[in-house]
Structure 1
């Protein structure tokens, strides 16, 4: 309780109405419609993020930290596989885009290459410290931005990755606006 006022009764909350509305909804927000062009069974790479805290971290260090947190029962940040780690795991195996534990990102990568009509760039690059880190060109490609849209800007690689992670995917934004503006969702799906 800040300043003697309940947070539920001040600001943007409309307590208890929001809770009742949320609990009373019997359909998913997307009305059960699949995402445009969705293909079942694809394993997608993790989403690029504005922060890239694992960039340059050794795979061994990340896995050891992850195992320590799992042993403690900690659930949250650090438990998923961040993009900078996933692309390094996927490029180690004998078959590109398959991780040592069998996660195959290949079909999703090849599908995105087909949609963009350009191949995926190398997902990692040498960092200033000499290790391997996430490539800004790869983040740019994942976001569907035109080649050079982010990476041709004369700023440090970390800032380019941050821009990519903060950016909205144009294709998703267009689809979102289409869904908002189209009154007949069945006609839109056709």
Structure 2
């Protein structure tokens, strides 16, 4: 979004590329009184940011239809009333010259990490030194793992719920983020409303040590895909995984074609292990998996993603409801404590939402599927309004200097 400004001019004066053709935040707020709501032009982003902060957006404009500093505070992630006590224009000027604390914290963290890990001639990661051999895990005769000197921990783990079911799990960081080296990622490219309601983006999953472990998994896949495939196949050859069930992704998804193909090869190479997964990558699965699936792989499509419309009433799928009563009323079958119900061929499987308070508040009494339908309906209405405005504009297009989304 445009940088907050105290002046009410209609164009952004930033020197960044294309800024002159973007409206300023005051102009945007005047043109879209619903700017901070789910029906505004940035509806999904506003909902997501509200979930991060734990509070919804305040009105974007005041009674005189001017940009409200309280809304700018919320956009920047500042506590309510952070710049109270100053005149309105001064409050906006202070906010416009300030920084977003979460961005500043992330930037400083990245700089400190790079400073601590920068190679020096005295360190083994300097180019003048020989790099250690690839990390590998080999099985021993007693069925335990033997970790090489580089010490990579085992790839498959069990949380308390998985341990109770006797299942194992491979996981990635949920949805979008940034690796310690500065690379950005999105492990759930087909996520829709589920991104703002994801249990794996809250609670224990956000504990720094847990998130770091999940990001190491992703970095292993990205940086050494061949090494990952070999290490995973070797680990699955251990006796403990014979007739065991492995859930692929407690968080994250099959984020691209190469990664999904890699897992299909792993599954075919370890036929004595049973694999299952929830996924929103419906388009990718219909192309790569459905025509010729590994016999030891079961999956279920889950609602709340951008491809929900591809799930027909006869397609086995899962949806997330606020409680068991809601899923029964919708005609869904509960899991009853076992993920295997979801991949048993039952057409409509219902899951209860996590008990994280702020996520339950956002979800209300809706399911992920109904929330996704509502979000898509809002997007269709916005596109229709934009197309109508473009047709009504002389010349059949947007006014000079405006993007179609701003029309």
Greater relative contact order structure (CA < 8 Å, 6+ sep): 1
Displacement of 1:115 after TM fit? 0.7
SS in 1 for 2:32: helix
Corresponding position of 1:109: 46
Corresponding position of 1:135: 68
Corresponding position of 2:2: 46
Structure 2 CA distance, aligned partners of 1:53 and 1:135? 12
Corresponding position of 2:103: 172
SS in 2 for 1:178: helix
Corresponding position of 1:84: 26
SS in 1 for 2:21: coil
Instruction: Give the length in aligned residue pairs.
Output: 115
Which whole-Å deviations, capped at 9, do the CAs of 1:103-128 have from their partners, x for residues lacking one? Answer: x300111111111111101000134x
TM-score, normalization by structure 2: 0.26
Structure 1 CA distance, aligned partners of 2:24 and 2:2? 6
- Match for 1:144 among 77, 91, 101? 77
In terms of fraction of residues, the more strand-rich structure is 2
Contact in 2 for aligned 1:121/1:138 (Cα 8 Å) = yes
Structure 1 residue runs of 5 or longer lacking an equivalent are 1-44, 55-61, 67-74, 99-103
Which whole-Å deviations, capped at 9, do the CAs of 1:7-63 have from their partners, x for residues lacking one? Answer: xxxxxxxxxxxxxxxxxxxxxxxxxxxxxxxxxxxxxx32223x3233xxxxxxx5x
Corresponding position of 1:122: 59
CA 1:92–1:177: 2 relative to 1, 3 Å: closer
CA RMSD in angstroms comes to: 2.9
Corresponding position of 2:327: none
Contact in 2 for aligned 1:140/1:147 (Cα 8 Å) = yes
Structure 1 CA distance, aligned partners of 2:29 and 2:71? 10
Contact in 2 for aligned 1:91/1:97 (Cα 8 Å) = no
Structure 2 CA distance, aligned partners of 1:92 and 1:179? 35
Structure 2 CA distance, aligned partners of 1:77 and 1:178? 28
SS in 1 for 2:26: helix
Structure 2 residue runs of 5 or longer lacking an equivalent are 12-16, 118-179, 182-211, 216-407
